[in-house]
Chains A and B, each alone.
Chain A
Amino acid sequence: MRESSSKPRGDAGATFAHTLVALAVLVAMSAAAYPLAASAIAALGKAASAAFGASRALVADASLRALAARVRPPFWAASIEPANSGDALEAPWLDGVWEKTAVVSWDGEALRIGEAEAAFRVGGLEHVELAWLEDGSGRVLGFALAFEAGGRAWRVEAPFGAFPRPNARVAW
C-alpha cells in the first residue's frame, strides 16, 4: 500500500493511456479481422453442415444397399408387385424367406430402413422420395431413394441381392 501510494502519478497515467491505445489497436485489429473471421466461421459452418449432411446421406446409402442386398427372391419367383410406392416400400424375400419383409419408409421426420419390427432410423433428410428400382419392362429390381441432405440432392439406387424372373408377377 505504501509502495503503491509512493508511485509517481505520471506512471499511472501512462499505463492507462497505454491500455487505451492497446484497446484501440485491438478494436481496430478486430474490426479489420472480423469480416475475415466471420467468413471463415461461416465457411467452416457450411462445410460442417455439408459434412454432417454427407455423412447422413452415406448412412442412408449404406443402410439401404445393405438391406436391398438381403432381399433375395429365388430365381423361379415371380416379380414383386410394386403396389406400395409412396411413403413406404415393403419387399418380401428378406434373407431369401418369403414371409420376412424388408421395409423402407418415411414418416416425415426420419427414414426407417430395416425389418418390420426392427428398423434403423436416419434423420436430417429432406424432400424424401421412395420408389422401386425397375428395369425397362417394369420388373422390380431394388429400391430407389431420392432426398436432400447438407444442402445437396442425393439419389440412391439399391439393387436386390437376387432378381425375380421376368414377365410374371404375383401380388404382394
Chain B
Amino acid sequence: MVRAASLVHDGERGSAALGALAVLVLVAAFAAAAYLPLASGVRAAARAEGKAEARAEALDAVLAALPVLEEGAADGVDSRAELEALEASFAGALLVDDVSSRFNPNLIRKNFIEKTTLARLLKPDALVDALQQARVDRGLSVDIMTAYGDFFEAESLEAWFTPYTYASVNTDDEFALERLWFEATGDSSGAAAFREANRRQLEALKLLSPGEFAAWYGVEAATLAPFVGAEAGLNVNLAEMEVLEAALSYPGYGIESPCEVAESLAEAARSRALDRDALAATAGLDGEHPARAWLGTRTWFWRIFARSGDAWFRAIVRMEQGADGKPEAIVVEFREGGPEDDPLRRND
C-alpha cells in the first residue's frame, strides 16, 4: 500500500511538472510575441527620436550662426578672417563657405562664356546658343549638374559654377532674366516688360548701380528685389583666383593682364579684408569700370554644413537688406547631407 501510494505520488509530480512547464512555455511565447513588436517599436522610436534631435541640434547651430553673418555683413565686407572666426567659434561642428562667388549657368550671358576663360570649360560639342535656348525651354534649375551636364564637365560645374546667386541686370542674359521673372511671378506680361527695360539698358550700354536699378526698372525692380538687381556677385575676399580671372578676362573690359589682377586680389584677400576702396586700389579698377559689375565685397549666399553626432546637415542661407537697411540672413534650404555628398565643391 505504501509502496503503491508512493508510486502514484511520483507520477502526479511528473504531470504537475509537465503542466507547469507547459504553462511556462505558453507564458514565455506570449511574452515573446508581445516583446518583439514592443522592442522593434522602441528601437524605431529611439532612432526617430535620435534623428529628430540631431536635426534640431544642427538647425539650432545654423540659426545661431545667422546673427554672426548679419553682423559681419553690416560693414559691407565679408572677409576671410570673419569666416574663419565663425567656424572656429563652433569648434568644427560648423563648416561655412561662400557658395555664390562663382558663375551661375542659369543666368550667365552666352558671349561671356565664349569670350572668357570659361570657354575652355565647355564640352567639345557644346554650343552656347543651345545652352541659352535650353534655359528658355526647360527653365532654370538649382540642380545645375543635371541641367547643364550636356554643356560642361561635372568637375567644372562643381568647381566654377553655382545656382545660388542673385540675378544682375549688368552681367546676366536678358532671356534668362525674363525666364526668371516668369518663374518667380507667373506673370508673363510683367516678364516681357522687364525684358524690354533690360533691352533698353543694353542698348544704352548702361551699367546700373544698385541705387540706379530701382530708378531704371521702376515697379518691376521692387517686385523681385533682391532676386534681380544690380549688385556685384563675386566677393573678392572669398572668390577663387581662377573665377576672378575669368570675370576679368572679358575682352570688352580691356584689362591687359586679367591673371595678374586676379592674383593681386586673391593674395591681398588672404592677408586682409578688402573693402570697396581697397578693391579699387588693389585691382586698379575704379568704381565706374565695367568689370566692377562682377567684383564686390559681399557674399550673397552662404552654405553651412552642421554636424550633429555622426550626421551632417546642409543649409543654404541668403543675405538681403532688411527693411531697416540692416543685413538679414534667411535660410532657403535645410536638409540632411554632408560635404562629401554635396554636388558643389567647397572652396577651402
Contact = CB atoms under 8 A, between A and B. Distances in A.
Given A10-B1, A44-B34, A163-B332, A18 B12 contact: yes
A162 B141 CA distance: 13
B124 interface: no
Interface string B31-53: 10110011011101100100000
Contacts of B227: 75-76, 165
B127 interface: no
B333 A161 contact: yes
B38 A48 contact: yes
A98 B318 CA distance: 22
A76 B38 CA distance: 46
Interface residues of B, number: 42
Interface stretch (B60-68, B180-188, B201-209, B281-289): B180-188
Contacts of A48: 33-34, 37-38
Interface size class on chain A is 35 or more
22 contacts: A8-B4, A11-B4, A22-B16, A44-B30, A48-B33, A52-B41, A58-B41, A61-B48, A74-B141, A75-B318, A75-B333, A76-B227, A77-B183, A77-B184, A78-B186, A96-B142, A162-B316, A162-B334, A162-B335, A168-B185, A170-B185, A170-B186
Interface string A46-86: 01100110110010011000000100101111100000000
B83 to A, nearest CB: 21
Closest 8 CB pairs of A and B: A51-B41, A75-B332, A170-B186, A161-B335, A162-B333, A11-B4, A51-B38, A44-B34
A169 B180 CA distance: 15
A51 B34 CA distance: 9
A75 B164 contact: yes
Given A18-B9, A161-B334, A55 B185 contact: no
Contacts of B142: 72, 74-75, 96, 162
B184 A76 contact: yes
A17 to B, nearest CB: 10
B218 to A, nearest CB: 18
A159 B334 contact: yes
A29 B37 CA distance: 31
B140 interface: yes
A32 interface: no
